[in-house]
Amino acid sequence: MNKIQLNGYVQSVSVTGEIVSSPSLACQELIEAFKSPKICFLAPSRIGKHLKDALSKAYYHLGYKAPETVEFLKLQIYLTEFLGSEKLYQSVSIDEVSVAIKRGSDRQFKEEFFGIAPATVTSWIRAYMASENRKDAKLIQLQLEENDVQPKAEPTPQEQWDSFVMRLKVLYSNFQSGIVIQPIEAAFCFKILWRSKLIRFDEGTRDKLKTKALEQIAKERDPVNATTLDERRKMSIAYDELIEKATDDPQVISRAMALGLIEWFEGLKKQVKTIDQAVNEEF
């Protein structure tokens, strides 16, 4: 895929020409940071702890030795007071401050650098606040929030059918590869194909499928498979009910439908037909 940067988004262009847009990594980092508590809601001690962690990483990143405890504490206190001095900074989230310090230590801002001093860190925060990346991330965040509250359009009948055919292709591929298809999903697909008149079995075939289904379930439910007396008692009751209802049992009918799908797949394989050919076949 080729990638194009566009106003905070990365657009991936596939070989088929399909364009998929997603926020850039830089914007994703900020969108995640926006979720953290705002400065105005935090106690100075918690702000100081975050500043200590971010500054320690900045010193290490730049190859500087962190100052002595007292001087380091003074820097944290100064920056905590700076962040609480104006409403602009009070509305910033605490993780954004960490991002600003990280990006500043990475020389992503154009301010002159004379080492990590109070003026240096405040200039990083100001530069971050004015950055285009932050503006882009804010706009993307608003768009994402609007998308979350907007009701999603119900898929059209054609879209539902296309999705079903796509899943059917996956199941057919699994069948050809020898991968087991879960009976519940197989029965569901069979129902849709039967109602759409794409599968048609005569009464004799249907009876054979039900008999085979009954044999399978009876083998699975046989009390001899129990590992405890209590389990054996429960399985015996269920087994007796199954044998009494026989092929009229809803579970047997559902399993027969699942087997019917496999029967249909086997027919397609013998005829060397694809799912698309099968569902779009004209009379």
Listed by start position, the domains of the chain span: 25-149, 157-279
Q: What pLDDT score was predicted for residue 234? A: 83
Write down the number of H helices and E strands in the chain: 13, 3
Q: Which of 108, 122, 42, 16 lies closest to 79 in space, CA to CA?
A: 122
CB atoms within 10 A of CB 268: 16
Q: What pLDDT score was predicted for residue 190? A: 94
Q: What pLDDT score was predicted for residue 7? A: 59
Contacts of residue 38, defined as CB under 8 A and 6 or more positions apart, other chains included, come to: 90, 91, 92, 93, 94
Which single residue is written with the structure tokens 């050919």? 277
CA count, 13 A, side-chain hemisphere, 115:
5
Contacts of residue 90, defined as CB under 8 A and 6 or more positions apart, other chains included, come to: 38, 39, 40, 83, 84
pLDDT by position in tens, the chain (length 283): 444 444 566 655 444 445 556 778 888 899 999 999 999 998 998 999 999 999 999 999 888 888 888 999 999 999 999 998 888 888 899 999 999 999 999 888 877 777 888 999 999 999 999 999 899 899 888 888 887 766 667 888 888 899 999 999 999 999 999 988 888 899 999 999 999 999 999 999 998 999 998 888 888 778 887 778 888 888 788 778 878 878 788 888 999 999 999 999 999 999 999 999 888 875 4
Amino acid at 230: D
